[in-house]
Chains A and B, each alone.
Chain A
Amino acid sequence: MTAVLEIEQVARTYGSGHTQVTALDGVSLTVQAGELVAVMGPSGAGKSTLLHVAGGLDRPTSGTIRVTETDLGRLGRAGLAALRRRRVGYVFQELNLIAALTAAENVALPRELDGVRARTARTEALAALELVGMAELAGTFPDQLSGGEQQRVAIARALVGQRPLLLADEPTGALDTLAGEAILGLLRARCDAGVAAVLVTHEPRYAGYADRIVFLTDGRVVDQTAHPTTVAGRWS
């Protein structure tokens, strides 16, 4: 098994003195290739902060984070930005799709920003849309798509360029249960194909798709469900 994400004794505090807030307090978590880990916990438990530091959107106050064996603490701003573009895909509740671009153009955009030629980026975008069952709607603009379809495009954008780590923060937020389950089925399938993913959710029904459920309270891991003996085979 290959560890895609390694979080070791990570703490993140904001502010100082008597106004200091501890968002994460010594969290350790390893996510292997092919593994889907769900993070649950009450509001303010540190779930979103954990995703932000895991993907290099924020830096921890202490502790170590490695993504595909690269220590994020050793990277400067440019290095961190490059790692985020190439190795980490993000899916948020707010989809942030660009209204003036088609589904395929939205998905191709992060690759073009990374310097990939437009034609190659488009080919990769179509392949990513195919993975999420949206190939036929590649030429459609976001406002012509349902909420579930828009979320599929956002997932394709997170996967494009074969990024090994997917970080999803309440990706089912505005969707009804069946559409939400379809999104989870999709994340599950990507993990079965080798992607490592961390899903933040407050809904047990979606956490049920994970190989492992980690429970955060006050910035600490307080519980987790049994670790599968082998990641492969749990879902097949």
Chain B
Amino acid sequence: MSIRYALLSLLDQQPHHGYQLKTAVEGWLGQSWPLNIGQVYTTLARLERDGLVALGEVDAQGRQTYQITPAGRAALADWFATPVPRDGLVRDELLVKLVAAVAARDGTAFEVIRGQRTATLELLQQHTRHKAQAERRGDLPRLVVADLLIAQAEAEVAWLELCEARLRTAGHDRRGGGAAPLAQPSGPMPQREGP
């Protein structure tokens, strides 16, 4: 879904052929979102079928270029104007692991928290180095990608620290066997399918 609009936004600037589109999207997103050329051509075929792009000229090397149509411009404007839905719980393995460890009440949760926190901080250090490189190159799209990865890692570490503090307050200690029982969830949890 997102690739469709990434291609449209590139074609909104000027006509491109398939390989140029692949290179441009990878330039934006880097290794965080690898794209194969087959995916690009399949997406272009669907966009053409839906009337959002049209075939353009064939360039000097015999490559077919694509151009955006007025309907494509309207679809792109709609996409920019619509917030991405972020409701409910993402199905995340770490969440399941931590909830299971907390329920076990034997101190496993502290091990999960500490192991994950260190791993996520190491990842954050790596993203920070990539950000510094993007900054030196003045590469704004890559900076935006790095900023998201850093914000996600930061949020995860903050969440893990909060969980650890909460477990300590609730009397879970590393030897297990806490004082007060944890409250049971009283209602259905909001659900959302993972991506």
Contact = CB atoms under 8 A, between A and B. Distances in A.
A235 B34 CA distance: 25
Interface string A223-236: 11110000000110
A116 interface: no
A205 B128 CA distance: 8
A106 to B, nearest CB: 29
A188 interface: yes
Contact of B124 (A42, A204, A211): A204
Nearest to A222: B114
B153 A204 contact: yes
Interface string A201-218: 001110111110101000
Contact of B132 (A204, A213, A235): A235
A139 interface: no
Given A42-B161, A185-B132, A208-B150, A223 B118 contact: yes
A205 B156 CA distance: 11
Which of B118, B121, B132, B165 counts the most A-chain CB atoms under 10 A from its CB? B121
Interface of A: 40, 42, 185, 188, 203-205, 207-211, 213, 215, 222-226, 234-235
B103 interface: no
A215 B124 contact: no
Contacts of A215: 114, 117-118
Nearest to B165: A42
Contacts of A207: 121, 124-125
A18 B157 CA distance: 34
B48 interface: no
B154 A223 contact: no
A227 to B, nearest CB: 11
> Interface residues of B: mostly helix, strand, loop or mixed?
helix
Given A42-B161, A185-B132, A234-B129, A204 B121 contact: yes
Nearest to A185: B132
A211 B150 CA distance: 16
Interface string B119-156: 00110110111001001000000000000001101100
Which of A205, A207, A213, A235 counts the most B-chain CB atoms under 10 A from its CB? A205
B58 interface: no
A35 B174 CA distance: 33
Interface in B150-185: 150-151, 153-154, 157-158, 161, 164-165
B132 A223 contact: no
A224 B31 CA distance: 27
Contacts of B157: 204
B114 A223 contact: yes
B161 to A, nearest CB: 7
B128 A208 contact: yes
A203 B154 contact: yes
Contacts of B164: 42
B128 A209 contact: yes
Given A207-B121, A225-B121, A235-B132, 17 more contacts: A42-B165, A204-B121, A204-B124, A205-B128, A205-B154, A207-B125, A208-B124, A208-B125, A208-B153, A209-B128, A211-B125, A213-B125, A222-B114, A223-B117, A224-B118, A234-B129, A235-B129
A211 B128 CA distance: 11
B3 to A, nearest CB: 29
Contact of A225 (B118, B129, B154): B118
